[in-house]
């Protein structure tokens, strides 16, 4: 097989040599050969020096996703995919031995050397997303590797996301190996029980990236009346109840998620509480509270991704500032703001600046008490800052 050669423009090899795993179309001088979408390509700089080997995506702005920087040793074959999947699994050994948790991320895409591949483990079930043409091509091999290494009851695919379209791939969802999971499965997270809708829930069914943060916020919530914005299936609500919080108002636009949130509370023995579940827009609800001078002891804001790429950062910053400004305005003096951004393109530094701007506008004093990030199953690759996508602060607001 003759590999296609991708030759970069002068000076555009720097980020690749610094092991950033994406090559944008604008960095490419020319392509020698006629690659099909998803073919393995070798990347060279303008002085004919080998730079990296990856997979070409003819549709995406991210034209090449790098798989290896080693020229001769590393061929992209079944063995390669097995090695990478194995490495990702090894990296989760500590979590695999945790007796109170059976759900965690097994593969975290680029940060695990598997561009565009997400695999979440929910006890005996695996849920996979093949979000780049690179891993989509290798799907059968990757599925076999997962089956062999983990021996799950079944593997379910949830590649039904918008990012697939950007790669020129069609949306796909359904069982790919073993048994088909039931409509709702139960997982254990830090000793708490959660129902997960693998087949129809958001993403892979549960936001595993907040597992450690849900625990971290508990000491701040005891006795507090809480607005839990973007509550989804009640993750923060369950932990808040376990911390003896006062009433929690859960707000999410997704009614099916709120229904599961109520079930999750019951499942953990918290059915005798006065919590509220509101299917509404968090912005609108908070504006109404601001206008009525209704205040809370704690506000949790865990919105969906506002910036999907670098071009959207400015607009996203306005969105983050708006909700945090509203959150600050409805907090009692001495109240707690727990605020997150899961936009890879918004750095922690920028997010802190946004909170600063909101604090100035709200005329409130804001102290950062703790900085939050996902658990060790969502590693951050130092050469790929975008993998530090989830950041958050626990703040005291005066």
Give contact residues for ligand SAH (rule: CB under 6 A): 202, 207, 210, 230-233, 235-236, 251-254, 257, 281-283, 302-304
What's the closest the beta carbon of residue 238 comes to ligand SAH, in angstroms? 9
Task: Please give the helix or strand (H or E) that residue 120 lies within, else none.
Answer: strand 117-122
Q: Which is nearer to ligand SAH, 137 or 199 (CB)?
A: 199
What's the closest the beta carbon of residue 267 comes to ligand SAH, in angstroms? 15
Instruction: List the 40-44 sheet strands across, edge first.
Output: 22-24, 62-68, 50-56, 40-44, 4-8, 28-32
Q: Which is nearer to ligand SAH, 117 or 285 (CB)?
A: 285
Instruction: List the 125-130 sheet strands across, edge first.
Output: 103-108, 117-122, 125-130, 154-159, 172-178
Residue 342 is a catalytic residue: yes
- The DSSP code sequence of 374-385 is --TTS---TT-G
Q: Which is nearer to ligand SAH, 57 or 213 (CB)?
A: 213
- Which of these is catalytic: 89, 143, 260, 342? 342
Per DSSP, the three-state class of 61 is coil
Which tokens sit at 77?
């074959």
Nearest residue relative to ligand SAH (C-beta): 235
Q: Return the closest-CA partner of residue 392 out of 348, 359, 358.
A: 348
Q: Which residues contact 326 (CB under 8 A, 6 or more apart)?
A: 283, 286, 287, 290
Q: Return the closest-CA partner of residue 235 out of 270, 274, 272.
A: 270
Q: Which is nearer to ligand SAH, 57 or 231 (CB)?
A: 231
What's the closest the beta carbon of residue 302 comes to ligand SAH, in angstroms? 4
Give, as one character, the DSSP assignment of residue 26: G
Q: Which is nearer to ligand SAH, 62 or 260 (CB)?
A: 260
Q: Which is nearer to ligand SAH, 74 or 225 (CB)?
A: 225
Q: Return the closest-CA partner of residue 188 out of 261, 104, 272.
A: 104
How far is the C-alpha of 119 from the C-alpha of 100, rounded, in Å? 20
Q: Which is nearer to ligand SAH, 159 or 233 (CB)?
A: 233
What's the closest the beta carbon of residue 340 comes to ligand SAH, in angstroms? 8
How far is the C-alpha of 189 from the C-alpha of 204, rounded, in Å? 16
What's the closest the beta carbon of residue 3 comes to ligand SAH, in angstroms? 41
What's the closest the beta carbon of residue 210 comes to ligand SAH, in angstroms? 4
Q: What angle do CA 380, 192, 104 make, to 5 degrees?
A: 30
How far is the C-alpha of 235 from the C-alpha of 221, rounded, in Å? 14
Give yes or no for a contact between 172 and 157, defined as CB atoms under 8 angstroms apart: yes
What's the closest the beta carbon of residue 33 comes to ligand SAH, in angstroms? 42
Catalytically active residues, by annotation: 342
């Amino acid at each position: 097989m003759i590999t296609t050669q991708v030759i970069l423009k002068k000076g555009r090899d720097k980020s690749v040599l610094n092991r950033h795993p994406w090559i944008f179309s604008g960095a490419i001088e020319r392509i020698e050969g006629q690659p099909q979408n998803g073919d393995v390509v070798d990347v060279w700089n303008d002085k004919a020096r080998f730079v990296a080997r990856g997979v070409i995506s003819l549709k995406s702005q991210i034209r090449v996703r790098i798989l290896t920087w080693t020229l001769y040793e590393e061929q992209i074959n079944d063995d390669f995919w097995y090695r990478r999947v194995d490495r990702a699994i090894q990296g989760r050994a500590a979590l695999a031995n945790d007796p109170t948790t059976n759900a965690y991320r097994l593969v975290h895409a680029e940060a695990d050397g598997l561009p565009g591949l997400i695999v979440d483990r929910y006890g005996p079930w695996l849920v996979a997303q093949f979000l780049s043409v690179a891993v989509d091509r290798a799907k059968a091999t990757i599925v076999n590797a997962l089956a062999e290494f983990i021996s799950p009851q079944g593997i379910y695919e949830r590649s039904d996301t918008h990012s697939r379209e950007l790669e020129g791939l069609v949306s796909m969802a359904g069982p790919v190996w073993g048994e088909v999971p039931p409509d709702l499965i139960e997982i254990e997270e830090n000793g708490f029980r959660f129902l997960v809708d693998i087949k129809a829930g958001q993403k892979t069914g549960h936001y595993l990236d907040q597992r450690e943060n849900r625990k971290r916020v508990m000491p701040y919530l005891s006795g507090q009346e809480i607005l839990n914005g973007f509550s989804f299936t009640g993750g923060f609500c369950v932990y808040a109840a376990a911390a003896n919080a006062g009433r929690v108002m859960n707000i999410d636009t997704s009614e099916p998620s709120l229904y599961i949130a109520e079930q999750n509370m019951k499942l953990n023995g918290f059915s005798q509480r006065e919590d509220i579940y509101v299917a509404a827009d968090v912005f609108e609800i908070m504006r109404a509270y601001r206008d009525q001078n209704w205040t809370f002891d704690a506000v949790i804001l865990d919105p969906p991704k506002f910036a999907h790429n670098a071009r959207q950062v400015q607009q996203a910053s306005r969105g983050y500032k708006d909700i945090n400004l509203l959150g600050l305005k409805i907090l009692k003096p001495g109240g707690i703001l727990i605020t997150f951004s899961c936009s890879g393109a918004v750095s922690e530094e920028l997010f802190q600046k946004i909170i600063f701007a909101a604090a100035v506008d709200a005329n409130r004093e804001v102290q950062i008490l703790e900085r939050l990030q996902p658990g060790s199953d969502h590693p951050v690759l130092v050469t790929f800052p975008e993998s530090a996508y989830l950041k958050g602060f626990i703040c005291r607001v005066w």
